[in-house]
Amino acid sequence: MKRVYSAAIMFSFFIGLSFLFTKISLGFADTNIVLAHRFTLGYFVFMLYRRLLGLRLLPILSDIVSILPIAICYPIAFFITQGLGLNYLTSSEGGMIHALVPGVTLLLSSLFLKEKVNFLKLFFTTLSVTGVIFIFTMKNVNITDMNILGVVYASLSVIVSSIYTLLAKSKLKKFNYNDLTYVMLFIGFIFLNFFYLLRTEPSSYLDMYFSPLVNPQYALSVVYLGVFSTVLSSLLSNYSLTKLPASKVSVFNNLATLISIFAGTIVLNEPFYNYHFIGAVLILVGVIGVNYKKKASY
């Protein structure tokens, strides 16, 4: 089990640092281009990974169709709803709402996957969510001031993320986590590049697509987002779901939030206040508590 928890911590780490590299990349290109580059690189890196390991190149068509609903949830529906939400909300407001993912996943997994929920599991999940919300609240994020439409879109992204976790957990009983990751990356590669073309003037296709890549900072950010935050985090997350309940894996999302805060403090010299420390303790205790297993638990 140490290997599984190591995988969960690593994907949290990769996702947590993705906020930093996304922030850097958006200084050189808009969201549509960054996502297109991220999933294009991720897809081809994954194809190289499959070739080097000698894995079968493609699932059969029926397998792709079976996995397709997962890919529709993530990356397609997730990035659409998240992007629409952030059109009306600040990143802090969006982060606060996203912190609800473990709680929603816990509820849905108990209803549809019949995962056992006891008081301690509920308590520690709530504690972890509270830690994230506490941090954003202390950053003067006022719930009553949030744009209603933005809240709706952000809430949909939370639901989509939770549904993805449940569907992935269910499908991983039949499919290998490599095949699941492949279909997700393939659909993301096709859709996000097509979406970029729809949102761009035909005369600017090539120039806007390739011009940011000549900047070393942007190129480095895309490498991180494509390889570590997309390919490796997806593989590690899906691998974790083969061994752990969906609700346990989901709570590591809040650990990613904590890592993003520390990364901003260390790399971008963003301030670190006492409330960050208090929230961090709540998050860590929550994550550890959810994943602490007695013989009679779960």
Counted domains in the chain: 1
pLDDT value of residue 297: 42
pLDDT value of residue 62: 80
Structural domain includes residue 236:
yes
Tell me: the pLDDT tens digits for 79-99? 889 888 888 887 778 888 888
| Percent of the chain topping pLDDT 90 | 64
Alpha helices in the chain (DSSP H): 2-25, 31-53, 61-71, 78-86, 91-98, 101-112, 119-138, 148-171, 177-198, 205-210, 216-223, 233-243, 246-250, 252-267, 274-291
Structural domain includes residue 132:
no
Q: Are 101 and 161 in contact (CB under 8 A)?
A: yes
> What is the band of 61 on the pLDDT scale with cuts at 50, 70, 90?
confident
The three-state secondary structure class of 134 is helix
Structural domain includes residue 177:
yes
Q: Are 33 and 208 in contact (CB under 8 A)?
A: yes
What is the arithmetic mean of pLDDT over 151-162?
Answer: 94
Structural domain includes residue 229:
yes
First to last CA, the chain: 15
pLDDT, the chain, mean: 90
Residue 71 has pLDDT above 60, yes or no: yes
pLDDT value of residue 49: 94
Token pair listed for 90:
């600040």
ω before 75 within 30° of 0 (cis)? yes
Structural domain includes residue 209:
yes
Tell me: the pLDDT tens digits for 252-286? 988 988 898 888 888 878 888 899 999 999 999 99
Token pair listed for 33:
């281009």
Rounded distance, CA 47 to CA 108, Å? 33
Q: Distance from CA of residue 212 to its chain's centroid?
A: 24
Q: Distance from CA of residue 213 to its chain's centroid?
A: 24
For 176, the domain range is 2-118+147-253
pTM above 0.85, yes or no: yes
Structural domain includes residue 134:
no
pLDDT value of residue 203: 85
Structural domain includes residue 280:
no
The residue with tokens 């097509």 is 194
Structural domain includes residue 170:
yes
Rounded distance, CA 88 to CA 292, Å? 38
Rounded distance, CA 214 to CA 212, Å? 6
Least confident range of 15-19, 151-155, 181-185, 246-250: 15-19
Q: Are 25 and 222 in contact (CB under 8 A)?
A: yes
Token pair listed for 77:
């529906």
